[in-house]
Amino acid sequence: MQFLPNYRRALVRKPGKRFAEGQTSAERGKPSYSTAVRQHELYCEALEAIGLKLTILEADERYPDGCFVEDTAVITDEVAVITRPGTPSRLGEEEVIADLLAKERTLAHIKAPGTLDGGDVMRIGTHFYIGLSGRTNEEGARQLAKILNEHGYTSSTLPVRTVLHLKTGITPLAPDLFAGIKEFAERPEFQVCLPMEGEDAYSANCLRINDILLIPASSSKHFKKQLEKHEITFVEIPMTEFRKMDGGLTCLSLLWS
């Protein structure tokens, strides 16, 4: 069994002109809209180079955080679970996504009082780790676990204390190998983990798509050497403007087989 699905499709949404008005705790300055647009284009080009067929949505100016489409759904082979974002200003982003995914999958929905961001959901094989964070509450996690169980998947929850989302701090790189910040690297679920500390903590949010790993262009030489040691092919993507808005590589796409 593959530890990750073989992805064929991706959905992305362009950043809007109000991008800098979105939610952030990064304290890294105001992002440049034009630079964010170019970095998003490079991200899309990388996905296409890997072989994915892209659906590219225009920006929705009602939602400054709308380019972070990962948070709006959790997609399996059988069902697309439409989330209920944990930030009130993001409620409604999921509606267009639901309409599009209804053409691809049976839909299920997270309902109030549950909240769930897709960034808190990490799949390994047929198991889903669900982070309990400021954006995903226990009721949202319970609803997702029930839906997944109905389709033959297992799940477990774990607390997210020091970062925004679960996948902000940990990413599967290869079977039984993760990149993770200290909060997750010390957990028994992730026994073999490359520790991501200091400036490399941001690179814990990288994105494995089929045989390629996308990493932030700011990743250190040490991290790259570790990837080379494990024979992991990687592509660097500039992410400076999305980092200013608490965003990472996983945040910018919804992937499915």
Q: Which residues are catalytic?
A: 165, 251
SS (H, E, C) 73-142: EEECCCEEEECECCCHHHCCHHHHHHHHHCCCCEEEECCCCCCECHHHEEEECCEEEEEECCCCCHHHHH
Q: In degrees rounded to 5, what are phi and psi of residue 177?
A: -140, 130
Q: Across the chain, how many H-helices and E-strands are there?
A: 7, 15
Half-sphere exposure of 209 (CA within 13 A, CB side): 27
Rounded distance, CA 54 to CA 255, Å? 9
Contact 146, 139 (CB under 8 A): no
Rounded distance, CA 130 to CA 200, Å? 23
196 in helix, strand or coil? coil
